[in-house]
Amino acid sequence: MDFRRKDRPFVIAGPCSAETREQVLETAEGLKNLSVDLLRAGVWKPRTRPGNFEGVGEEGIEWLREAGDKIGKPISVEVANTNHVELALKGGVDVLWIGARTTVNPFMVQEIADALKGTDVPVLVKNPVNPDVELWIGAIERLQSVGLTKLGAIHRGFSTFQKSPFRNSPNWNIPIELKRRMPDLPIICDPSHICGNRELLAEVAQKAIDLNMDGLMLETHRNPEKAWSDASQQITPMQLETILSELVWRNPNAIDLEVQAKLEELRATIDGLDRDILDLLIERLSISRNIGEYKREHNITILQHQRWNEILHDREAYIQGKELSQRFLYRFLEAIHEESIQQQTLVMNTKKMKE
């Protein structure tokens, strides 16, 4: 299965959970004439705590297979262990996906990979719950190592304790880094799990397309308000149609020569500015090393909390009214501060080694 389309995003849709045969069939019927490439439903639902609805199990695959055949679309389910893999393949599931709670565990991923060895089934790998691109890549590599070639990734956001409008923080830099490291790997965005709120879905879906992701996974239910799981993030087939119809699909290859020339001019300016910034950072760190030597000579501790607070307050005041967020400023200064401490520590240790 090719997860990349030239004319529009690859779309995966269907309920969060298969609840009843009627619910699966009715939802699928609503998706029949939409631009949906793959019908999904969860039949095994890993829950944070026991006692909640944990899926209907193998029977749900039969309902999904019936629904897929009826509307002429392939089907997909999540698998979390070797038993799931066996039952899914036995039930004629066309595409498997590995969930975020499974991706985070290399032992589980390896067991699934071993169970799939010798098959040619397409597999999509959701990012791990924690923001770790290496874990994500590692899971994909484990599947590649057993000979699977029809692979893709799903960006569903990352767990966070910070206050946010999202259920899971998008951390767009991580899927961007995955695309840089594995440029031939299709990446599909799952706005449903990123948002946790249907009101934000269109915005996040458009952001994913703007970042050149290859497709979207959107949870769709015949009656979202009465869904047995994740009701607030699901939409009706009609709402899905509206979101898809309003997407601005940007083709990165459809750029005329005049636009391309202007982009190259602007990018060249950025390249020059980046080199200037790097030269200034190198000069700044050189001064940090000089400060480290002075502190060593006068027996002063490296970390000066008051000075660090002064820097933060001064720089925050400096950007007031300028188009730079405080969040970015803090991350930028924190990185510089960390490297400055590292440089000063090296100066201190060099002196000790000589002694």
Largest CA distance in the chain: 80
Confidence of residue 79 (pLDDT cuts 50, 70, 90): very high
Neighbours of 210 (CB within 10 A): 12
Average pLDDT for residues 301-307, to the nearest whole number?
Answer: 85
What is the pLDDT confidence band of residue 267, given thresholds at 50, 70 and 90? Answer: confident
Distances (CA, A) of 331 to 94, 98, 277, 292, 328: 43, 32, 16, 23, 5
One-letter amino acid for residue 334 of the chain: E
Asked whether the beta carbons of 82 and 46 are under 8 A apart, the reply is no
pLDDT in tens, 152-194: 999 999 998 777 889 999 999 899 999 999 999 999 999 999 9
Q: Which residue ranges form the domains of the chain, and what is each CATH number?
A: 10-246 (3.20.20.70), 257-354 (1.20.59.10)
Measured CA distances, 82 to 18, 124, 282 (Å):
20, 16, 51
Task: pLDDT band for 247, please (50, 70, 90 cuts).
Answer: very high
Q: Can you tell me the mean pLDDT for 294-323?
A: 89
For residues 150 and 52, the model is more confident at 150
For tokens 């080694």, name the residue. 353
Report whether pLDDT(354) > 60.
no
Average pLDDT score over the chain: 92
92-101, 204-213, 285-294, range with greatest mean pLDDT: 92-101
Tokens of 235: 């939409």
Sequence-separated (6 or more) residues with CB below 8 Å from residue 9: 209, 213, 214, 215, 216, 247, 249
Q: Based on DSSP, count helices (H) and strands (E) in the chain, helices before strands.
A: 13, 8
Q: Render 108-149 in DSSP notation, one character per residue.
A: HHHHHHHHHTT----EEEEPPSSS-HHHHHHHHHHHHHTT--
Q: Quick one: pLDDT at residue 52? A: 77
pLDDT tens for 333-349 read 999 999 999 998 888 87
State pTM to two decimals: 0.78
Read off the pLDDT of residues 22-51 as tens digits, 9 standing for 90 and up. 999 999 999 999 999 999 999 998 766 777
Burial 256-287 (b: 16+ CB within 10 A, else e): eeeeeeeeeeeeeeeeeeeeeeeeeeeeebee
Task: Give the rounded percent of residues in the chain with a pLDDT score beyond 70.
Answer: 96
CA separation for the pair 36, 5 (Å, rounded): 12
pLDDT value for 142: 98
Cα-only R_g, the chain: 25
| DSSP secondary structure letter of residue 305 | H
User: What's residue 194's pLDDT?
Assistant: 97
**Alpha helices (H) in 72-214, listed in sequence order:** 82-90, 100-103, 106-116, 133-145, 173-181, 191-195, 201-210
CB 56 within 8 A of CB 19: yes
CB 131 within 8 A of CB 110: no
For residue 125, give both structure tokens: 């790998």
